[in-house]
Structure 1
Amino acid sequence: MRHFATASALLRAAHPLPALAVTAITAGLAAAVGSRPLGVLGVVGAVLSGQLSVGWLNDLVDADRDAQVGRSGKPVASGAVSRRAVLLAVVVSAPIAVVLSLPFGAAATAAHLVALGSAWAYDLGVKSTAFSVLPYAVSFGLLPAFVTLGIGAAPPVWLVLAAALLGSAAHFVNVLPDLADDAATGVCGLPHRLGATKSTAVAAVLVFTTAALLVLGSVGFPAGLLVLVLAVVLLSAGLVLGRRPGSRAAFHAVVLVALLDVVVLLGSGIS
């Protein structure tokens, strides 16, 4: 029972839901571009290992800050799992991600390595600078490159740009609920400098621009027009309702449009 509790805490320290979400999107993209089943499985292994390493490193670096503001859901900060165990998990999972990328070729491996290096840099300090959004843009933008280069094709520019914008939006959305706690512990990234209202607006613009790029690049009109109209309706409603004190309607609207972007990307196919 004790070992199970430790393993469970270690898994929670890796932020499994975001890791699984990124992995699922990348796997879906791999299937959309025509990767064979074994290729899709290879993408799952490489991306999931890398995402877990990023999550573990993040919790390890932030352990003292998390403890300072009493974040009970953080296993490292609460002592549910040791820092040594999490460090070992990072040291093991990071090389596995690189090794599992090798069968896709040198170019794809390089793209994934740069994406991971960017994410690790965010964990190690870029998150506290005015350039905090940059690692998200780089890491997300390179995931489609990893997938397409793995089958010997250059990624469409619109796809890389859409992924980078969606990743940037994810940064603003992800940070919003923790702005106060982050500020109290010295984390001052771009969203913290802009504030909650401006950050929400920036995230809304980013996810709408992503939708527009996906429509122009893969969906086309008139079906794409419906996607854009739905995005406008959701974002407008969220921003209006979000003006009420304590409301998270704007946050939820941005998340919904981001999910719409992902569905459009995976459902439309890549040319």
Structure 2
Amino acid sequence: MPIDQAAEFDAQPRFRYGARPVPLLGLFRACHPAPAMVVAVLATALTALSGRGATGCALAGLAVLSGQLSVGWCNDRVDLRRDIAAGRADKPLVTGDIRPAAVSVAAGVALAACVPFSLGYGLLAGTVHLVGVAAAWSYNLGVKATVASWLPYAIGFGLLPAAVTLGLPGHPWPAAWAVLAGALLGVGAHAANVLPDIEADTSAGVRGLPQRLGRRRTRVLAVCALFSASAVLVFGPAGPVGAAGWAALAFAASLSGYAVAAPGSGAGGRTPFLAAMAIAVVDVALLLLRGATLA
């Protein structure tokens, strides 16, 4: 990466939470631990529900976790200049709790570990997972600032069911509804994730699809994509919807209406974001409920 890391780090003002940096804690915080763990646990649970044994579940979980860690560290490293300019005191690279070189090395090590873990789960399944990881890296490395910012999310989430089912005996492709629901969930998660920081991103020169749409239309995009994922997960699989499916769909519909109509459309408003995240939780629950029928 064409950046003089030491000079960049030493020349910029830094913010401290305490008197001394805690490198390991800073490295942990820089990996975006919450989403990394959520996606890894989801992949492991889907693998278990699909019928794989303990070894397969462990490999799937480690593959996804290492991939997500690499993406998180890559994101904070690439965004360092922008985060410094924005005074992001929640970022350990900005506060000086960890050096840029350490984050770069961590991202590379995690990415390298992701390859054998992924291929160990299955050659075809592992290759599909690595394509999803590559899509996430492409987002960090520039696609996030283009009108196609939604595409890496759609690819990564849409391929997750395939990465699970292609590791099963016979290497079956996932059902079309599972891929579509995953892609919609990814697009909705992208729009919802950007929503709280949309003005700051625009000021920093990030011109992804949500920033081009603006806060109001991005809110609608997030809700429509996430609720559409709910509907696909309820009606896509064969068989009766069942009481749980109808209840989940009704709950998602109520959250969708609230997210669109709720106040908080100004800068910093988090109510629509939280409502959208609640719909995403419903979608994840539905995906797990359908986990045994992915293929």
Q: State the TM bucket, normalised to the shorter chain.
A: over 0.9
Given the alignment of the two structures, is residue 257 of structure 1 paired with residue 279 of structure 2, yes or no?
yes
Does the 8 Å contact 2:119/2:127 carry over to 1? Answer: no
For residues 23 and 62 of structure 2, the distance between their equivalents in structure 1, rounded to whole angstroms, comes to 23
Structure 2 residue corresponding to 1:58, chosen from 68, 71, 75: 75
Given the alignment of the two structures, is residue 45 of structure 1 paired with residue 62 of structure 2, yes or no?
yes
Q: 1:186 to 1:158 in 2, by over 3 A?
A: same
Given the alignment of the two structures, is residue 125 of structure 1 paired with residue 146 of structure 2, yes or no?
no
Offset at residue 62 of structure 1 (A): 0.2
Residue number in structure 1 paired with 2:215: 196
**Partner SS, residue 270 of structure 1:** helix
Offset at residue 25 of structure 1 (A): 1.0
Offset at residue 198 of structure 1 (A): 0.4
For 1:127, give the aligned amino acid: K
> How many aligned residue pairs are there?
270
Residue number in structure 1 paired with 2:14: none
Structure 2 residue corresponding to 1:36, chosen from 53, 60, 73: 53
Does the 8 Å contact 2:252/2:279 carry over to 1? Answer: yes
Does the 8 Å contact 2:36/2:65 carry over to 1? Answer: yes
Q: Tell which deviates more after alignment, 221-230 or 108-117.
A: 221-230
**Where does 1:178-193 land on structure 2 (aligned, <5 Å)?**
178-193=197-212
Q: Which has the higher helix share?
A: 1
Residue number in structure 2 paired with 1:112: 129
Residue number in structure 2 paired with 1:234: 255
**Partner SS, residue 22 of structure 2:** helix
Residue number in structure 2 paired with 1:153: 172
Residue number in structure 2 paired with 1:221: 241
Offset at residue 227 of structure 1 (A): 2.1
Which runs of 5 or more structure 2 residues have no equivalent in the other structure? Answer: 1-18
For residues 35 and 56 of structure 2, the distance between their equivalents in structure 1, rounded to whole angstroms, comes to 22
For residues 73 and 250 of structure 1, the distance between their equivalents in structure 2, rounded to whole angstroms, comes to 22
For 1:229, give the aligned amino acid: A
Offset at residue 217 of structure 1 (A): 2.6
Residue number in structure 1 paired with 2:192: 173
Give the TM-score normalised by the residue count of structure 1: 0.94
Offset at residue 155 of structure 1 (A): 1.0
Q: 1:4 to 1:184 in 2, by over 3 A?
A: closer
Offset at residue 157 of structure 1 (A): 1.1
Which runs of 5 or more structure 1 residues have no equivalent in the other structure? Answer: none
> CA-to-partner distance for each residue in 1:127-150, whole Å, 9 max, x for gaps?
000000000000111111111111
**Partner SS, residue 73 of structure 1:** coil
Does the 8 Å contact 1:115/1:142 carry over to 2? Answer: yes
For 2:50, give the aligned amino acid: V
